[in-house]
């Protein structure tokens, strides 16, 4: 990603705050953040697939609230240290924080 050190470009991906499968676009810069490829492609992807599955089981009149917030260590830091995602529907209520460890550029996803 432009503006990041070369080492960060190799380890980070352009993570979608709202997955493409849920209606988020990879061409909208407001929907993208630099984040660990490992966390984005494994932990966050699994969470998004689970939400998509739950949405598919809902009725046409049901609604789902979805919020994805990148958490930055400081006001001038360009890369978040975690992303907190909340998804609430009639049959589910998830709050998950996906943590990126910048020292090794990997992280883990956690859901309570």
Q: Which of the 8 DSSP states describes residue 103?
A: T
The CATH superfamily holding the domain 6-110 is Extracellular Endonuclease, subunit A (3.40.570.10)
Element (H or E) spanning 49, and its range? helix 45-56
Q: What is the mean pLDDT of the chain?
A: 80
pLDDT score recorded for residue 69? 94
pTM of the model: 0.79
Position 7 scores a pLDDT of 46
| pLDDT the model gives residue 101 | 63
Query: What is the reported pLDDT for 67?
Result: 95
Q: What percent of the chain is modeled with pLDDT above 90?
A: 25
CA–CA dist 85, 106 (Å, integer): 18
Residue 6 has pLDDT above 60, yes or no: no
* Domains of the chain, residue spans: 6-110
Question: What's the pLDDT tens digit per position in 20-73?
Answer: 989 999 889 999 988 877 777 777 888 888 899 999 899 889 999 999 999 999
Q: What are the angstrom distances between the C-alpha of 45 and each of 42, 60, 87, 103?
A: 5, 24, 14, 22
Please count the other Cβ atoms lying within 10 Å of the Cβ belonging to residue 10.
Answer: 10
């Amino acid at each position: 990603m432009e503006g990041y050190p070369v080492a960060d470009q190799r380890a980070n991906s352009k993570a979608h705050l709202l997955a493409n499968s849920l209606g988020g676009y990879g061409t909208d810069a407001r929907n993208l953040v630099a984040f660990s490829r490992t966390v984005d492609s494994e932990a966050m992807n699994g969470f998004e697939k689970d939400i998509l599955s739950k949405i598919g089981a809902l009725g046409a009149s049901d609604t789902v609230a979805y919020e994805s917030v990148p958490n930055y260590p400081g006001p001038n830091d360009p890369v978040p240290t975690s992303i907190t995602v909340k998804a609430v529907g009639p049959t589910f209520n998830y709050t998950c924080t996906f943590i990126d460890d910048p020292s090794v550029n990997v992280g883990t996803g956690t859901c309570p």
